[in-house]
């Protein structure tokens, strides 16, 4: 597949062919339908000090605002089917610490990762999502998703404490 990656610790990015990802039992394979640019993508592209000093492992695929279609579902993942339209949150909580296990993965203090930096992101044909705690909602084929939208969804869900059709993974 084609992907936009950071391959070197300096300004710029590379658009090139990389192997298609393969999933483990706890992951979803998502075909990216739409991805949005964010200011923090510019920071990654320009290799701003906040990025350069974070010791991210290279290469990585950029992009953290996205939606797409589930193409493959890991054996241990529940609640998703091939063909579901999904979008993911930006942050990558550990999923194991007390904070995560008590419903607050958005403030996980255990070296929280970032999609498109510490794990491969959405500027690619396919992306892997890991079943975890952070909300993901179904979206249309053509939607664009931003962090702000997710924060709004998260806040309203936590405030209302209602069950919804929103489903959870990172």
Closer to Zn ion at the Cβ: 73 or 91? 91
Q: Residue 101's Cα: distance from chain center in Å?
A: 19
The only residue of 144, 147, 149, 168 in contact with Zn ion, by rule CB under 5 A? 147
Return the SS3 of 84. Answer: coil
Q: How far apart are CA 60 and CA 115, in angstroms?
A: 10
| Least Å from the CB of residue 110 to Zn ion | 4
> Which segment (16-24, 88-96, 122-130, 155-163) binds Zn ion by CB under 5 A?
88-96
| Least Å from the CB of residue 79 to Zn ion | 21
Q: How far apart are CA 93 and CA 64, in angstroms?
A: 14
Residue 87 binding Zn ion, by CB under 5 A: no
x/- track of binding to Zn ion for residues 23-42 (CB under 5 A): ---------------x----
Cis? peptide before 59, omega within 30° of 0: yes
Q: Smallest Cα–Cα separation from 88: which of 33, 41, 42, 45?
A: 33
x/- track of binding to Zn ion for residues 90-109 (CB under 5 A): ---xx--x--x-------x-
H/E element, 156? helix 147-160
Contacting residues toward Zn ion, per CB under 5 A? 38, 93-94, 97, 100, 108, 110, 147
């Amino acid at each position: 597949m084609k992907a936009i990656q950071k391959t070197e610790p300096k300004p710029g990015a590379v658009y090139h062919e990389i192997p298609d990802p393969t999933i483990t039992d706890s992951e979803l394979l998502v075909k990216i339908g739409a991805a949005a640019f964010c200011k923090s993508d510019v920071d990654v592209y320009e290799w701003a000090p906040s990025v350069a000093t974070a010791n991210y492992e290279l290469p990585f695929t950029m992009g953290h605002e996205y939606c797409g279609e589930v193409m493959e579902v890991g054996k241990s993942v529940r609640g998703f089917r091939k063909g579901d339209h999904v979008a993911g949150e930006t942050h990558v909580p550990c999923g194991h610490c007390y904070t995560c296990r008590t419903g607050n993965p958005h403030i996980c203090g255990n070296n929280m990762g970032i999609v498109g930096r510490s794990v491969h992101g959405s500027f690619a044909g396919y992306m892997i999502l890991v079943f975890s705690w952070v909300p993901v909602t179904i979206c249309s084929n053509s939607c664009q998703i931003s962090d702000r939208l997710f924060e709004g969804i998260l806040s309203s869900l936590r405030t209302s404490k209602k069950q919804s059709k929103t489903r959870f993974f990172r």
